[in-house]
Structure 1
Amino acid sequence: MPCGEYFTSYESRMGLFRWRTQRIALVLGLPIPFILPFALHGGLISTITQIYIFTIAVLGLNVILGYAGEIVLAQGAFMAIGAYTTSQILADGLFGIQIGLLPAMVVGGLLAGSVAVLFGIPSFRVKGFYIAISTLALQFISEWFFNNGQLEWLHGGTQQTMPFEVGLVGQWLTITGTDMELYFMSLVLMLLFAMVSLNLSRSGTGKVFRAIHDNDLSAGVLGINVFRNKLLAFALGGFMVGVAGGLFGYYIGFISPGYFTLDLTLQHYVMLLFGGLGRVWGAMLGVGVVTTLQEFLQGFLQSVASNATSLEPVFFGVIIIVVLAVEPKGILAALGQIKDYLRNWPFAY
């Protein structure tokens, strides 16, 4: 606790922003992302928009893996379900009714969450790497499903183009998919899901997830319905990833199964582990740093030689290994150690 600050009620003790420095940082820092696009050009705006979208997806992964401790290898499948569902609803409507972009993404998220629950049912009998195999099967099934032209009547086509001029809700609040519109929509949704994740971690449900993560046998002895709460984690995380998939599909404007492969799942894992597993700020920081690092490596290698970009995975992998070897809990934990050191400096206590 910072010197000179104390709590006078449980409500203040459990507040989301408890310290004076946190509240000052919030007031000073919150306007920055809303002002930032007016000072940047289109390429950087597009990159930051992608960071916001992937942050939503990684926050969903953090709910399943970081909170509940369930290894899921179907991140790409959940995003594909959200993207294709959103595209279908925008093209044909829901039961013939045009419901708009935001409700379409919600429907895609609900479908992704339902599929996540379905493939999370084996968690009743197995856990750890065995449940990971179940979700990995979903990843392979989704790639086969969306690549199968004979099932076009069901998924709408392997390759689909998103309509850019759509209403956010029904026919109202029409947008045309400009960089600024995509930026602010992604920013607002990212802040919304970040707030939900922060409050979830402080709620009773979040504490139950933590208990299951630490030791599901002990949680069951304490009276927690482990299986039901595991499925709840799959549903919440799958919903968030599905919404991110719908938003990502609208962002790129053209969806194909090649965008939602196992590589996307591994990329999001790297982002979460790089930032800090089980921490909302770690997930957000990891996505930003990893995406920026990838953009820097691509530009640097292209400047060296035209064929040097093939070495990008090698350089990127080495950097990840070094960071995780130095601080396995992610860069957020490393920043916390630096803060503690500076707080005590120049004293040793």
Structure 2
Amino acid sequence: MPCGEYFTNYESRMGLFRWRIQRVALVVGLPIPFLLPFLIGGGTLSTLSQMYIVAIAVLGLNVILGYAGEIVLAQGAFMAIGAYSTSRLVAAGAGLLPSLAIGGLMAALVAVAFGLPSFRVKGFYIAISTLALQFISEWFFNNSRADWIHGGAQQRLPSQVGLVGPFAEVGTDLHVYYIGLLAMLLFALLSLNLSRTGIGRTFRAVHENDLAAAVLGVNVFKNKLLAFAIGGFMIGVSGGLYGFYIGFISPEYFTLALTLEHYVMLLFGGLGRVWGALIGVGVVTFIQEVLRNVLQTVSAVTGLNATALVSVFFGVIIIFVLAVEPKGVLAALGQLKEYLRKWPYAY
């Protein structure tokens, strides 16, 4: 706690922004992402839009894995369900916002259905259940005989879509940027508040020891399904936004590799923490872009296909960071903050 600041009631102790420096940082920092589109180029704007959309999916994964402790290997499947549901509803003229909401609900329902085995099993057995969903979704969306349900494996979304029905059309890069930013801020605020409620504390209890939580009267099965529903909804909305962002969807975009990439982002930033998820998405995306640009330059100079080594270098960096600080970048930043707070008497 900063020197000279004291809590005099429980409301201030439980506040989302408890200290003066946090409130000042919010006032100073919040306008920055809203002003960035007027200061940066189109390529960087597109990258930031993608980061916001991916951050929503990683926040959903953080609810299921970081809060409730349920291993999920169907991130790509949930995003695909949200994307294809959104595409079908947009084509029917429902508008972007209702389509995203219903796409998220469809993903939540499927997540709950495949979370039902958590009544009897847990841990890696649940992971196998969700991995089965990943394989089923790839088969389903590639199956032409199911086109009457999902609308076809490859679908192109219209460039101009009304937010609600035909009203307030959006579709430019600037529109996508602000929609992604607002959605990310909304779900980040939801995740932060969720961790501070009784539901969030129940999730933590189930994560730490579900048997002890059950002895204390917690309905473990219901809370696991609730975590699947909340996380699945967020991931489904992210899938719909991703389809609107690229304007085209295909099962090739929602494979198991996408799930592993989101796991890397979450573990890199810090499991179970909202800021860790956001930092992980930003840092991992930045490292990927830097590596890709450097290796493209090397390829142009040497004539070799050095870009194939992106995954190798990226993997080495991830292993190094997790070996140095297994709790992620956010924990390392917290240690640095504590050291600087006491400097020069850090002993």
Range class of TM-score, shorter chain: over 0.9
User: Distance between the aligned counterparts of 1:260 and 1:328, measured in 2?
Assistant: 28
C-alpha distance in structure 1 between counterparts of 2:216 and 2:3, whole Å: 37
2:159 to 148, 164, 171: 164
Structure 2 residue corresponding to 1:273, chosen from 267, 270, 290: 267
Identity of aligned residues (%): 73
- Secondary structure of the 2:195 match is helix
Q: Superposed, which structure 2 residues align to 1:60-209 within 5 Å? A: 60-91=60-91, 93=92, 98-175=93-170, 177-209=171-203
Letter in 1 for 2:100: M
Cα offset, 1:345, TM superposition: 1.4
Q: Deviations over 1:98-143 (max 9, x none)?
A: 3210110100000000000000000011101110000000000000
CA distance in 1, matches of 2:315, 2:161: 40
Shift of 1:215: 0.3
**Corresponding residue for 2:312?**
314
Any gaps of 5 or more consecutive residues in structure 1? none
Question: Deviation of residue 173 (structure 1)?
Answer: 1.0
Whether 2:346 is the aligned partner of 1:348: answer yes
Distance 1:89 1:163 in 2: 12
The 5 A counterparts of 1:225-240 are 225-240=219-234
Name stretches of at least 5 consecutive residues in structure 2 with no aligned partner.
Answer: none
Structure 2 CA distance for aligned equivalents of residues 294 and 11 of structure 1? 42
What are the Cα deviations for residues 210-258 of structure 1, in whole angstroms up to 9, with x where unaligned? 0000000000000000000000000000000000000000000010000
Q: Does 1:261 align with 2:255?
A: yes
AA partner of residue 225 (structure 1): N
The CA distance in 2 between the partners of 1:63 and 1:207, in whole Å, is 12
**Distance in 2, Cα, partners of 1:172 & 1:179:** 18
Q: How big is the shift at 1:170?
A: 1.5
Pick from 210, 221, 242: which aligns with 1:216? 210
> Is residue 13 of structure 1 aligned with residue 13 of structure 2?
yes
Counterpart in 1 of 2:243? Answer: 249
Aligned-partner SS, 2:312: helix
Which SS does the other structure have where 2:24 is aligned? helix
- Does residue 335 of the first structure (1) align with residue 333 of the second (2)? yes
Matches of 1:171 and 1:159, distance apart in 2: 24
Look up the equivalent residue of 2:208 and give its one-letter code: D
Give the 4+ runs in structure 1 shifted more than 4 A.
none
Name the structure 1 match of 2:280.
286
Looking at structure 1, the residues matched to 130 and 316 of structure 2 have their Cα atoms a distance apart, in angstroms, of: 28
TM-score normalized by the length of structure 2: 0.98
Q: CA RMSD in A?
A: 0.7
Q: Which AA in structure 2 matches 1:169?
A: V
Deviates more, 1:317-326 or 1:165-174: 165-174
User: SS at the partner of 1:173?
Assistant: strand
Partner amino acid, structure 2, of 1:2: P
TM-score (norm 1): 0.97
Aligned residue pairs, count: 343
2-structure distance, mates of 1:347, 1:15: 30
* Alignment match of 2:291 (pick from 293, 297, 303): 297
The aligned amino acid for 1:308 is A
SS in 2 for 1:314: helix
